[in-house]
Structure 1
Amino acid sequence: MGYPKDLLSSRSMIEHGKYALIAPEGLVNNTIPGFENCITSILGSPKLGASFVDYIVTMQEGGKNREGFGGQLDIETFVYVIEGKIIAAADDQQFVLEESGYLYCPPGTKMYLENIEAGESKLFLYKQRYRSLEGRSPWVVSGHANRIEYRNYDNMHNVNIKDLLPTDLDFDMNFHILSFDPAACHPFIETHVQEHGAYLLSGEGMYNLDNKWVPVKKGDYIFMGPYVQQAAYAVGRENLTYVYSKDCNRDAEL
């Protein structure tokens, strides 16, 4: 970027254990073993207060992960293609994923990634420790979000949602895409035990984080911890849309 031409400033906001808004302008490259020709930034993590780890990965031409991502017996992983085109592989299966493509790998299954775009491909990457349930086990899931139909969110015609993973009890989390038409909003300010890691795919809005309204836009990352009040208004001329994770299908632990 070169030398600064103005006072240093940032839109990012961090409240450890509660919430975070991380603007793309402040991201730095983290060297992650196994990722070649990749610019990788760690977003949400246990150091922030999250129970998972989120990454934004820009795979440059020839970028790949030959060693595999995840694979531990209690770690599940997920990748979502923001832009570009990759090959994602798991359990001797290969998937060509373009924009909106995704792959979920259950515990014990390594995920292999390779950029096949002439330029760069950008990925939203995730890992979490799986909470097992007797008699249940998840499986490899892949698809493209753009091929899944939206449904109304909480019976509102101007807010829509889609599930990227099955809602079966075999899965202890899900990824969703939530989209607000211009001027749409949540039906109420949510307060719940679940936590989220969200990447904004399009639009602009105002987001309530712990009862503080902050402006957000495409390219931002938001972490929302358990019981943090949260809601959004869409502003501007295009939909406010984001992909996000949510823990589900399990009881609270003592």
Structure 2
Amino acid sequence: MGYPKDLLSSRSIIEHGKYALIAPEGLVNNVIPGFENCIISILGSPKLGASFVDYIVTMQNEGKNTEGFGGQEDVETFVYVIEGKIKAAAGEQEFELEESGYLYCPPGTKMYLENNWGEDSRLFLYKQKYRPLKGRKPWVYSNHANKIEYRNYDNMHNVNIKDLLPTDIDFDMNFHILSFDPAACHPFIETHVQEHGAYLLSGEGMYNLDNQWVPVKKGDYIFMGPYVHQAAYAVGRENLTYVYSKDCNRDAAL
């Protein structure tokens, strides 16, 4: 980066346990054992107040994870390809994931990632502890979001959503892509027990985080904790679109 050209400043906002906006300009590289030729930054984590861990990864040519990601008996993992393409494996199953491709690995299944197509690939990576349900067990699942049709969000034709994982109760979480046409917004300010980790894929907007309206744009990361007010307006000339996680299908623990 070299010497700064102006006064140091940041758009990032951190409210531990409540919400965070993390702009890409302030990210630093974290060394994660097993990841080779990768520029990787930890975004959401328990230190921020999240029950999961999110990462943004630039996997350079010949970048890979040699030791596998996840694989513990109580940890589930997910990867989404933002740009480029990679080879991915869930145990013995192999997948070719291009832009918008993704892979979910259930507890006990290691995820392996490799980039050998000659250019960088950018990945949104996730892990969390699985909350078991008697008689139920999730399974390996892979697809490309570009192959999934949008459906209207809460009967609004200018806001659309995709479910990336099965809505089956075996899964205790899901990933979605939510897209707002320019000038579109949520139908109301949401307040709920679920938490989110969201990566903005395109566009610009104003996001309500705990009743504070903040500007957001492509490349930003947003963490939203339980019961934090949240809603968005899309502004600009292209859709405000983001991929995000959501815990679901389980009762609140005492």
Bin for the TM-score computed over the shorter chain = over 0.9
Residue of structure 2 in register with 1:183 after alignment: 183
Amino acid at match of 1:228: V
Residue of structure 2 in register with 1:26 after alignment: 26
Residue of structure 2 in register with 1:120 after alignment: 120
1:69-104 per-residue CA deviation (whole Å, 9 max, x = no partner) reads: 000000000000000110000121110001000000
Q: CA deviation at 1:174?
A: 0.1
Residue of structure 1 in register with 2:174 after alignment: 174
Matched, 1:162 2:162: yes
Q: CA deviation at 1:116?
A: 2.4
Residue of structure 1 in register with 2:147 after alignment: 147
Determine what percentage of the aligned residue pairs are the same residue.
88
How do residues 76-155 of structure 1 correspond to structure 2 at under 5 angstroms? Answer: 76-155=76-155
Q: 178-187 or 89-98: which moved more?
A: 89-98
What CA distance in whole angstroms lies between the structure 2 residues aligned with 1:117 and 1:183? Answer: 38
- Give the 3-state SS of the residue equivalent to 2:146 in structure 1: helix
What CA distance in whole angstroms lies between the structure 2 residues aligned with 1:136 and 1:93? Answer: 21
Q: CA deviation at 1:119?
A: 1.1
What CA distance in whole angstroms lies between the structure 1 residues aligned with 2:27 and 2:75? Answer: 25
Q: 211-220 or 109-118: which moved more?
A: 109-118
What CA distance in whole angstroms lies between the structure 1 residues aligned with 2:88 and 2:116? Answer: 10
What CA distance in whole angstroms lies between the structure 2 residues aligned with 1:149 and 1:198? Answer: 20
- Give the 3-state SS of the residue equivalent to 2:67 in structure 1: strand
Amino acid at match of 1:222: I
1:138-168 per-residue CA deviation (whole Å, 9 max, x = no partner) reads: 0000000000000000000000000000001
Residue of structure 2 in register with 1:6 after alignment: 6
Which runs of 5 or more residues in structure 2 are unaligned? none
What CA distance in whole angstroms lies between the structure 2 residues aligned with 1:46 and 1:183? Answer: 34
- Give the 3-state SS of the residue equivalent to 1:25 in structure 2: helix
Residue of structure 2 in register with 1:227 after alignment: 227
Q: CA deviation at 1:118?
A: 1.3
Amino acid at match of 2:199: Y
Q: CA deviation at 1:66?
A: 1.1
Q: CA deviation at 1:20?
A: 0.2
What CA distance in whole angstroms lies between the structure 2 residues aligned with 1:116 and 1:8? Answer: 37
Q: Cα RMSD between the aligned structures?
A: 0.4
- Give the 3-state SS of the residue equivalent to 1:188 in structure 2: coil
Amino acid at match of 1:174: N
Q: CA deviation at 1:206?
A: 0.2
- Give the 3-state SS of the residue equivalent to 1:4 in structure 2: coil
Matched, 1:236 2:212: no
- Give the 3-state SS of the residue equivalent to 1:82 in structure 2: strand
- Give the 3-state SS of the residue equivalent to 1:20 in structure 2: strand
Amino acid at match of 1:29: N
Which runs of 5 or more residues in structure 1 are unaligned? none
TM-score by length of 1: 1.00
Q: CA deviation at 1:190?
A: 0.1
Superposed structure 1 runs of 4+ greater than 4 Å apart: none
